[in-house]
Amino acid sequence: MDKDYDLIVIGAGPAGYVAALRGAQLGFKVGCIDNWLDPDGKPSLGGTCLNAGCIPSKALLDTSHHFSALRTEYADQGILVDGLRIDVDTMLARKRSVVTALTQGIATLFKAQDIDWLKGHGQLLGTGRVGFTAHDRKTPKELTADNVILAPGSTPIALDSAPLDGEYVVDSTGALEFTDVPKRLAVIGAGVIGLELGSVWNRLGSEVTLLEAQPDFLPIADQALARTALKTYTNQGLQIKLGTRIKSAKLSGKSVRTVFEDASGEQQERYDRVIVAVGRRPNTTGLFTNESDLLLDERGCIHVDDFCRTNLPGVWAIGDAVRGPMLAHKGEEEGVMVVERIAGQNSATEPDLIPSVIYTTPEFAWVGPTEQKLKQAGIPYRSGRFPFAANGRARAQGDVEGEVKLLAHAETDRLLAAHVFGPSASELVQQAVIAMSMEATSEDLARTIFAHPTLSESVHEAALAVDGRALHMAGKPKRG
Ligand code: FAD
Ligand code: NAD
């Protein structure tokens, strides 16, 4: 019997919709099931990333950056603004229009590629079999396909001590929708979401406290740069309390009574709003039947091998729901790889070359291991550092905080990692990703011409610094 589809994808976030698009490019008949509904109850493609993650958060980061820069940064350039204020409704309306333009863009791409957008819930029944319940139906219909890709994404981790109430204690989705600027805001978790969304509301005028359980700040990042970042964020007004245990955060009257414990003992504070941002977990509830025999790993992720194959033949899983960092671009690459492998190509992903970015001002970005990790692994390396304070373009634009740090293998000189805290770090680190994916050495970068004056010259100088010959930095000259 003919199958309904060559390929069914469950989930239309960046992992799933990119898999669907690549599948259509390769000539497959594709159905993509997604159950996301926008605040008006309308189906919307793009998953967390476009609807409640990467895109809306960056829209608010952008607006709040302009606002804060006008308030605090431009007086020394002679730009003086009187009567500056933020219209939160307009800011939110712009954010929604950015989201709508992009989600509708994916719908247009689906149409152009003849991908069936199946609006509703999908459930894996077994190899090649999927139950689909449309939003307006109660009973599922069974669909068949040669291959099924599971891309259900992730959902915020909840805390029993800080139950969400949809208005005062919220997750990241709620924090993108505050209709006014909270006077006092706490964020539980000083990870990526805590820093990005904490920055948004801090720049707009909130007094923001981040309550972080771990004793170290951003342990996944380079610790020297993380110390600089901590100072910078603190100077910007983010109060970051490390080693804090939340005992409770509950609405009492019109504010949230929050009890937590840190090195100085138990403390109580009242906040107007609390954001819970303590990580995300794979979204596997209702995704498969017990009879399907799909295997999860010990962390609740869908178990996959290096090529995103699950334990079931013809069933693949990608994106936030499988091991690895929960990042949009990581899921997209997995989507492309899986579909190309289905088409018989020998594609693979490069887990060591996934860049991470925290979109604060300045940005914090990196690719590859930290110095700490290299030391632990006993890998010999040389490091080259260059501060933005010594870069002409950074000076001209008034963004002098931070540095570029490159790490190269001490024997082969192969580039191993780049860590950047500073202006346009997200774009600068990409230069290292490109170089590393082409197996470049630090000398390759050092011998490359960089336009002047650009921030990129800091990457060049850091590459020269690996060999002790940075030009625009004082230090003992290297002979030879
Ligand atoms: P998702 O985007 O979560 O999409 C999964 C889709 O599947 C959803 O639409 C979901 O409703 C649907 N679905 C789930 N189960 C079913 C089912 N059974 N049937 C039908 N449909 C189903 N990452 C970055 O790389 N850069 C950033 O700047 C960034 N910023 C972020 C900011 C915030 C506030 C948040 C919360 C996340 C951010 N992320 C960012 C992370 C990024 O959003 C995720 O890594 C990415 O969305 C994961 O993609 P995905 O396709 O795996 O899943
Ligand atoms: P995260 O893992 O980045 O940070 C969570 C923080 O909460 C950690 O520092 C953790 O130690 C802390 N924490 C955990 N339990 C706690 C508790 N009980 N009390 C206090 N602190 C606690 O997770 P997130 O910020 O929620 O983001 C979720 C995911 O979304 C991340 O994996 C991230 O990769 C992704 N994301 C990416 C971007 C980006 O790429 N710019 C932006 C936002 C989110």
pLDDT per position as a tens digit, 93-149: 999 999 999 999 999 999 999 999 999 999 999 999 999 999 999 999 999 999 999
Q: What is the DSSP string of 32-70?
A: EEE--B-TTS-B-SSHHHHHHSHHHHHHHHHHHHHHHHH
Q: Residues 423, 399: contact at Cβ < 8 Å?
A: yes
Question: What digits encode the pLDDT tens for the residues 257-309?
Answer: 999 999 999 999 999 999 999 999 999 999 999 999 999 999 999 999 999 99
Instruction: Indicate if ligand 2 lies below 6 Å from the C-beta of 425.
Output: no
Q: How remote is the CA of residue 473 from the centroid of ligand 1, in Å?
A: 43
Looking at residue 18, its pLDDT comes to: 98
Give the span between the Cα atoms of 457 and 428, in whole angstroms. Answer: 10
Q: How remote is the CA of residue 13 from the centroid of ligand 1, in Å?
A: 5
Looking at residue 75, its pLDDT comes to: 92
Give the span between the Cα atoms of 35 and 47, in whole angstroms. Answer: 9
Instruction: Indicate if ligand 2 lies below 6 Å from the C-beta of 215.
Output: no
Instruction: Indicate if ligand 2 lies below 6 Å from the C-beta of 249.
Output: no
Ligand 1, atom 11, lies closest to the CA of: 36
Looking at residue 161, its pLDDT comes to: 97
Ligand 1, atom 34, lies closest to the CA of: 53
Looking at residue 474, its pLDDT comes to: 82
Looking at residue 15, its pLDDT comes to: 99
Classified as helix, coil or strand, 407 is strand
Q: Which of 170, 192, 267 to mutate to test the pocket of ligand 2 (most atoms within 8 A of CB)?
A: 192
Looking at residue 475, its pLDDT comes to: 73
Residue 68, Cα to own-chain centre: how many angstroms? 23
Looking at residue 477, its pLDDT comes to: 56
Q: Residues 360, 190: contact at Cβ < 8 Å?
A: no
Q: Which residues of the chain have pLDDT under 50?
A: none
Instruction: Indicate if ligand 2 lies below 6 Å from the C-beta of 175.
Output: no
Q: How is residue 244 annotated by DSSP?
A: -
Query: All domains of the chain, ordered by start, with CATH?
Result: 5-156+281-352 (3.50.50.60), 169-278 (3.50.50.60), 362-466 (3.30.390.30)
- Catalytic residue numbers, as ranges: 452
Residues 6+ apart with CB under 8 A from 372: 222, 223
Instruction: Indicate if ligand 2 lies below 6 Å from the C-beta of 212.
Output: yes
Classified as helix, coil or strand, 264 is coil
